[in-house]
Amino acid sequence: MPKRFPRCAASSPNRRSDVVSIRHFGQPPAVDREIAAGDARWRVPEETPVALICNGRNYAVMLATPADLADYAVGFSLTERVVADVSDIEAIDIHQELRGVDIRLTLTSDAIERFDARQQRRNLVGRAGCGVCGVENAETFFERLPRVSEQKAKIDAAALLRAAADLARHQPLNARTRTVHAAAFASPDGEILLAREDVGRHNALDKLLGALALSGSPTASGFVVMSSRCSYEIVEKSARAGIEAILSLSAPTAFAINKAEEANIALYVISSARAVAIGR
């Protein structure tokens, strides 16, 4: 059976399903703006403080592009183990504030009990940095990741090259600004099915994984495409989502390679117009 995040079919902007209610309050901010650069005019992306609040408890404040924030809330909450699955979230209220965005999650009673217990441990060592939010101590980095499959995925080179070549078509914000990262999900034959953008590569991946979770899309019947390098947090988040293969357009880090081997995730990179498998 293909692996899935639990399904939550819905439509925007104010979404309602049997699993989670998603509502927006206030005027959404622009995702980019025009500035003067000498005699030229440039478009630059916005970077906005985004606070995640769970049943009134502050969890983290991240900097992110203020788009697809419901997807971001779900993906971040799942990959950072704030919740175990989408059904732990009863509601997502997105409030546009004067100096940022508040994402207010309403968790189930069981989920908030687990959240509070984890917060007590987390608060002993202070706040974690962006991209590895929720880390309780250095040993967390060396916890074994779940194996996504017994047999490592093999993606055809033609499919990898097709996805890499098609990625730009799914990056409208980057087309305007030439500045933001993208994370996409492609079918086994390389067709890009879904993509999300953000100034942070891990944010883009969280948005993508959240969108997949909300749509109930299988996560093991294709591969993730990253416009950037593949670092530790990209592998960790992908492993927790059941992603079996990652294509990055820039080289992975050594730690990412080690963790991908541990999770049995197939890593690929584009080098000299070729798709190259990394690791064993």
In a shared domain, residues 192 and 166: yes
In a shared domain, residues 101 and 129: yes
Say what the pLDDT of residue 45 is. Answer: 96
With a pLDDT cut of 90, the percent of the chain lying above it is 76
In a shared domain, residues 109 and 220: no
CA 168/CA 182 separation, integer angstroms? 9
Two tokens, residue 126: 């202070």
How confident is the model over 181-193, as pLDDT tens digits?
Answer: 999 999 999 999 9
Question: How many domains does one find in the chain?
Answer: 2
- Mean pLDDT over all residues of the chain? 88
55 domain-assigned = yes
Say what the pLDDT of residue 133 is. Answer: 55
In tens digits, what is the pLDDT along the chain, a chain of 280 residues? 344 443 333 334 444 344 689 999 999 889 999 999 888 899 999 999 999 999 999 999 999 999 999 999 999 999 999 999 999 999 999 999 989 999 999 999 999 999 998 887 665 433 323 555 555 566 677 788 999 999 999 999 999 999 999 999 999 999 999 999 999 999 999 999 999 999 999 999 999 999 999 998 888 789 999 999 999 999 999 999 999 999 999 999 999 999 999 999 999 999 988 999 998 6
In a shared domain, residues 203 and 254: yes
Last residue of a domain, one of 90, 119, 142: 142
In a shared domain, residues 272 and 202: yes
3 domain-assigned = no
How confident is the model over 261-275, as pLDDT tens digits?
Answer: 999 999 999 998 899
Q: Which domain holds residue 223?
A: 157-278
Catalytic residue among 8, 130, 133, 230: 130
CA 65/CA 101 separation, integer angstroms? 10
In a shared domain, residues 170 and 56: no
In a shared domain, residues 129 and 166: no
Say what the pLDDT of residue 119 is. Answer: 84
User: Which CATH number does the domain housing residue 85 bear?
Assistant: 3.10.20.10
222 domain-assigned = yes
Say what the pLDDT of residue 27 is. Answer: 92
CA 236, 114, 196, 27: dihedral to nearest 10 degrees? -150
Last residue of a domain, one of 117, 142, 167: 142
In a shared domain, residues 80 and 30: yes
38 domain-assigned = yes
In a shared domain, residues 136 and 41: yes
1 domain-assigned = no
Last residue of a domain, one of 110, 142, 174: 142
68 domain-assigned = yes
User: Which CATH number does the domain housing residue 164 bear?
Assistant: 3.40.140.10
Per the annotation, the verdict on 130 as an active-site residue is yes
In a shared domain, residues 138 and 161: no
pTM over 0.85: yes
